[in-house]
């Protein structure tokens, strides 16, 4: 499907690897001029090089979304260099596992600083400009863990639930200004973050088949999502094909949340 994105300018956070990298590739393949942002500068350089070598229009920006001043500077630089931002994809995220009674203050703060406050920082900076122009679209990548409890993932799930609520509220505030705001909530996706959660073959099996001990049903479609599966959903919501869709949460999890 031609999403008619060619010539648009998009910012993708967390673009150095995983879902963020896939979103950057997918948007660029559809003709978007991509500003790829990530806190991991070394990895970002490699990712951007691979994309530019493939003939895609991508510029790298080392950025820690926790730093609001740095976010403002980066968005200003992107608009000065690439043009007005039409698309924002909030994908930067971190995971800290642990039961609530064992979770440290630092882990809790880190997860919310990136997954929630980071979304606020970047969305605010971009939304101000989009609202003034009367157009634009923002897509936040959250998680099905934001709607279904997961053992050992209370901080992550809470941070993602907060980012969902924030994005929907932003969409309500900006609707009359012509700006759409939506969410994509992936389930288990073949990324370094997921592999880092697995300790052995049993962990991988339980992801697909479920675990009675963890009160988890598994994935009805019997497969993991690929980063591109998620990126395609982001690209659709960012396009005019979804021109009458706002404040929506699109779950891309193979049925793992049972439609929750």
Would you place residue 195 in the very low, low, confident or very high pLDDT band (cuts 50, 70, 90)?
low
Please, which residues bridge with residue 137 across strands?
Answer: 87, 180
Confidence of residue 203 (pLDDT cuts 50, 70, 90): low
Place 233 in a pLDDT band, splitting at 50, 70 and 90: very high
Element at 179 (helix H, strand E): strand 179-186
> What is the H or E stretch that residue 136 is in?
strand 136-141
**Measured distance CA(86)–CA(92) in Å, rounded:** 18
Over residues 57-84, the mean pLDDT reads 98
Average pLDDT, the chain: 93
pLDDT in tens, 1-45: 689 999 999 999 999 999 999 999 999 999 999 999 999 999 999
Using only C-alpha atoms, the chain has a radius of gyration, in whole angstroms, of 18
Calculate mean pLDDT across residues 202-214. 70
Please report the domains of the chain, with CATH numbers, ordered by start residue: 9-246 (3.40.50.720)
Q: Strands of 29-86 (E only): list them.
A: 33-38, 58-62
Active site residues: 156
pLDDT at 2: 83
- Two tokens, residue 13: 């956070």
Q: What is the pTM of this model?
A: 0.93
Ranking 141-145, 169-173, 211-215, 223-227 by mean pLDDT, the lowest is 211-215
């Amino acid at each position: 499907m031609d999403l008619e994105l060619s010539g648009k300018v998009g910012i993708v956070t967390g673009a150095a690897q995983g879902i963020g990298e896939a979103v950057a590739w997918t948007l660029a393949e559809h003709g978007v001029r991509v500003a790829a942002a990530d806190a991991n500068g070394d990895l970002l350089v490699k990712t951007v090089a691979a994309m530019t070598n493939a003939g895609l229009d991508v510029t790298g920006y080392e950025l820690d979304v926790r730093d609001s001043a740095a976010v403002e500077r980066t968005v200003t630089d992107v608009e000065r260099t690439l043009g007005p931002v039409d698309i924002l994809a909030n994908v930067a995220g971190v995971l800290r596992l642990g039961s609530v009674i064992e979770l440290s203050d630092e882990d809790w703060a880190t997860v919310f600083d990136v997954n929630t406050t980071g979304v606020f920082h970047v969305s605010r900076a971009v939304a101000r400009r989009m609202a003034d122009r009367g157009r634009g679209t923002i897509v936040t990548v959250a998680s099905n863990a934001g709607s279904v409890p997961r053992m050992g993932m209370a901080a992550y799930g809470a941070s993602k639930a907060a980012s969902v609520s924030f994005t929907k509220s932003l969409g309500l505030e900006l609707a009359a200004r012509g700006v759409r705001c939506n969410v994509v909530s992936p389930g288990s996706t073949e990324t370094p973050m997921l592999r880092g959660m697995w300790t052995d073959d049993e962990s991988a099996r339980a992801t697909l088949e479920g675990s009675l001990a963890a009160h988890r049903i598994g994935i009805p479609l019997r497969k993991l999502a690929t980063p591109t599966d998620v990126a395609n959903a982001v690209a659709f919501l960012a396009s005019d094909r979804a021109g009458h869709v706002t404040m929506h949460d699109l779950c891309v999890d193979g049925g793992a949340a049972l439609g929750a």
